[in-house]
Structure 1
Amino acid sequence: MELSFLLMQQICQLFIMIFLGFMLVKTKTLSTQDSKVISKVILFVVSPCAILTSFMIEFTPDKLFGLGLALLGAFIVHVIYIPLTELLSKIFGFVPIEKATVIYSNSGNLIIPLVGAILGKEWVLYTSGYMIVQTILLWTHAKSLVCNERQYDIKKIFLNVNVIAIMIGIILFLSQFQLPGLVVTTFDKVGSMIGPLAMIVIGMLIGEMNFKDIFSEKRTYLICFMRLIVYPFIIVLVFQFTGLSTISSDANQIFLITILAASAPAAATITQFAQLYNKHPGYASIMNVMSVIFSIVSMPLMVMIYQLF
């Protein structure tokens, strides 16, 4: 019950942020096109800061092992999600933006505060396992999927500021090198803007839409059903029936965090890609908003099923 209440609180906060962006466009303070600039700020400034600060924690062997489990859980999720989506797309005819929406979740700005509130701040570290795997895939697989790129440009991938942030973060975590407090505080404050700014962009993108159009898009319901129910349910079964959740004393909690990330609403980054590269940003925003709405029920349901096994 406590988890359900906190989930509702977090999701209501997202709705308020979306509404603020919506009103910016409705009052003609900004236009939908202005959101592209904010998307660039999120992707190339705010996101790297959020990634980097997630690694600035004390190193212990137990934490390293737990982080390894979190990485394993995230790897398993995406190894299942990506080929499953390709298989189902042959049946349902998913277009690239739908594939990306089904595969990638809002694993950062929703899950981090939720884990901190439910399990305690010491568990927030393990959210970075999912974020590491997903960030790498977002800037390789997801970007090429949304932009219809046939090949990866390895040089561009490694020179991407988000991938650089991951590599620097891993080095800082393993070496325990401490950056100056002023730098850490600055990065932390900038990184904390990722949730509000991402939701404001989504609100701006739907600001010129008719509400009837948002709720009448039938394929959105199919995408949300896959993203929020079918896919995470498969992951619950995998974790419980393979015995992975009993591999250590903390494994059950760590994989619970993975379940939360895997069952979260669609990734805001996909909407930002769609906006940045002009790949159906309106439709991407509709799918994102609808997934946030349905997640009020679906996320507590997935957690309940996981804990019942």
Structure 2
Amino acid sequence: MLTCRTIKSLTQCLKGYRAAGLRVGFVPTMGFLHEGHRALIQESVAHCDITVVSIFVNPAQFGPTEDLDRYPRALERDHELCRTAGVSLIFVPDASEIYPPGFQIYVEPGPVAEPLCGAFRPGHFRGVATVVTKLFHIVQPDVAFFGQKDFQQCAVIRQLVRDLNLGVEIVTVPTVREPDGLALSSRNSYLSSADRERARCLSQGLFAAQAAFQEGERDSQRLVETARAQITEVDQLQYLELRDAGTLAAITGLVERPAALCVAAYVGTTRLIDNVLLTPPPTALADHELELVSHVINRQATAGAEEP
């Protein structure tokens, strides 16, 4: 496994792989890797000839009052996880390598970034879209892997790739969870033991709504209220919303197309996000809707302990 800290050295390392016509998989991360990241890496290793992982805490996606300085970092441990998972190359740039002096150009992600987290973290997805665009140009992967837990981020990146003709296949990998259902996140390390216990109510609420949907409930308001009735231990509920799985448009009335039930809440001082997919039976879906969710559904079927 090779480690590159500059764009120049990374480009040199990748030149031979590209000359050989190898399929390059890419997993962008902010480090402090956990089993959720391992799942992304394993998908890449299984479907690509080489796997590149970037470890970069992107300052452009943090607001002025957010946790950039205290975001958890454990580079030595990250290297070991990457090595044992089969990563070929790690890219670990400094901020000045990605945003050199005089940097001015940012990518505006548009309406898909406005609801949900975008309403509470202004500028966040601008930073995400900018760094992902730069990383895609630097690495030039064939496929990039992202986690379903960051559902809106995945939607932003799919739109980015379509609109800017970036030519990268985007694969969404189902959320990896603790045995009690809590979605894995680097920010879980902030939780006290008491807050960690309370945080379970997020997935419990989402799973309750998902179970009601699977049993035939289609009324969007009742599904949201089913989840809300379980999410009682948080300190601040920012949003709990049903959104179209493709466009992120708000869903009212009946859920008749693939939807994501998304939540963001503070437990103590830690902001957590989560979601579940609500997917009508395949016979009820149009071809484009089947294409949208098929890769996630297929991976859920083989994901073992992933969300139901």
TM-score by length of 2: 0.30
Higher strand share goes to which structure?
A: 2
Higher helix share goes to which structure?
A: 1
Instruction: Identify which of structures 1 and 2 has the higher relative contact order when contacts are C-alpha pairs closer than 8 Å and 6+ apart.
Output: 1
